[in-house]
A and B are shown apart, each in its own frame.
Chain A
Amino acid sequence: MSTDPIERLRVDVPTLEPDPALLERLVAESTAGASGVSILPRPLLAAAAVAAIAVTAWGVAQVPKGGEAPAPAQRSTRPSPSPDREGGVGPTPGASTGPGAVVHPGATTPDSAGDTDTSPTHVGGSPAVGGPGYSGGTPPATGAPDQASSRPGTSGGPDRRGRSGDHRDTGHGRHKGERNGGGHARDNGGIHGGPAGATADRREGGHATP
């Protein structure tokens, strides 16, 4: 018996017989490998794959050229919202007149009619300040002092115009009045407008004050 324990590590390795199915596959795989059939198509397959990817990428790159048409259309439609914005911004000060004025610029609501009395007063009082205060960014056409003074609703005072004046004019005029002087709007809102108009006027007057 050996005294060296290292020699005890040796294991009696058994002799295994191959399974017939495994042996058949070994023969088939070795034959296929020797013929080189499985080696040749690989470069061809890689080249075909690269060509397919290149064609696909080129085709994808061609597609957006036809799809660029909507882009100018979008640019052309960009100015169109500005009139809407003007129209919307004009009455937006309707927030100062109450929720009813926001619906339509031309609509005459009791609140807006009540506000029309006050707005021309401001426009007439300080017509030069009308333009730049628009929060919509686009200066209104009526922002010039001359135009504002030529309008029927803005040329005279509220007493001359009456209560059923043009709402659009009153809206602009109102807006100008607000921008012209927050203090005026605050005072008039307190006198003629409702509580909502008064608070909104105070808010806008506060913005314009700094």
Chain B
Amino acid sequence: MTRDDDLVAAAKAGDADAWRELYRAHAGRLLVWLEHRSPTDTAAHAEDLASETWLTAARKVSGFHGTSEEFAGWLFGIARKLAANARRSSGRRRTSPSETIAYDADRAIPGPETSVAGDDWVRAALAVLTPRERDVVTCMDVVGLDSAATAEALGMTAVAVRVTRHRALKRLRACFATA
């Protein structure tokens, strides 16, 4: 069983500085990851999901054991499950306007979130991948998680993560070569 480092132990005890440090380390890439893994979701939806993810993590942090780097994979796993739940519930309610209003990068009005959302070129490149490949590439090559944290976040084995990433990068290179 992995021992907690000082930062995670302090966060479990309810230390505000520890939580601020964890937030600074992971909140930015969590938001980028949520915005890139599902292009049809709005930025506001990603921010809501990120906030809910942090609250859920704080509620369940007592059951987490690991370092602050492993905390990233655990946090991303919570976000993935919350996003899946939100997608299912919105599909039942059918209140999402994504079916009628398609995302158009040319007509999008740049706002303050574009600095977080990153380049639209990345979105277009990731659009050729399958959802599973997009998740892996976004975790490892867009926001910079390692393979172990990516596996923890996506519920996959490290080997499956490496194989999926290899296929995804091969497809991306082929796509870039033809473009």
Selected interface stretch from B22-30, B77-85, B99-107, B150-158: B22-30
Q: Which of A9, A14, A15 neighbours the largest number of chain B CB atoms within 10 Å of its CB?
A: A9
Q: Are A26 and B19 in contact (CB under 8 A)?
A: yes
Complex Cα spacing A15 to B142, Å: 15
Considering only residues 2-33 of chain A, those with a C-beta below 8 Å from chain B are 5-6, 8-18, 22-33
Mask: chain B, 18-43; 1 = CB below 8 Å from A; 0 = not? 01100110011101100010000000
Instruction: Give which listed residue, A8, A27, A33, contacts B60 with CB less than 8 A.
Output: A33
Note all chain A residues with C-beta closer than 8 A to B27: 16, 18
Q: Are B121 and A16 in contact (CB under 8 A)?
A: no
Is A69's CB within 8 Å of the partner chain B?
no
Note all chain B residues with C-beta closer than 8 A to A22: 51, 54-55
Instruction: Give which listed residue, A10, A23, A34, A38, contacts B141 with CB less than 8 A.
Output: A10
Instruction: Give which listed residue, A9, A29, A38, contacts B58 with CB less than 8 A.
Output: A29
Chain A: residues with Cβ within 8 Å of the partner, total of: 28
Instruction: Give which listed residue, B14, B19, B32, contacts A11 with CB less than 8 A.
Output: B32
Chain B: residues with Cβ within 8 Å of the partner, total of: 41
Is B128's CB within 8 Å of the partner chain A?
no
Instruction: Give which listed residue, A13, A17, A26, A28, contacts B144 with CB less than 8 A.
Output: A13
Instruction: Give which listed residue, B14, B29, B115, B172, contacts A30 with CB less than 8 A.
Output: B14
Is A36's CB within 8 Å of the partner chain B?
yes
Note all chain B residues with C-beta closer than 8 A to A12: 118
Q: Are A14 and B28 in contact (CB under 8 A)?
A: yes
Q: Describe B's contact surface by its main secondary structure.
A: helix
Note all chain B residues with C-beta closer than 8 A to A17: 20, 23-24
Note all chain A residues with C-beta closer than 8 A to B14: 27-28, 30-31, 34
Instruction: Give which listed residue, A8, A14, A23, contacts B116 with CB less than 8 A.
Output: A14
Note all chain B residues with C-beta closer than 8 A to A29: 55, 58-59
Note all chain A residues with C-beta closer than 8 A to B16: 23-24, 26-27
Mask: chain B, 109-124; 1 = CB below 8 Å from A; 0 = not? 0000001101101100
- Contacts A10-B144, A17-B23, A38-B59 aside, 9 further interface pairs with beta carbons under 8 A come to A9-B142, A9-B172, A15-B28, A16-B27, A16-B28, A26-B58, A28-B14, A31-B14, A34-B12
* 16 chain-A/chain-B pairs, Cβ below 8 angstroms: A9-B122, A11-B118, A11-B143, A13-B143, A13-B144, A14-B116, A15-B28, A24-B16, A26-B54, A27-B15, A27-B16, A30-B12, A30-B58, A30-B59, A31-B14, A38-B59
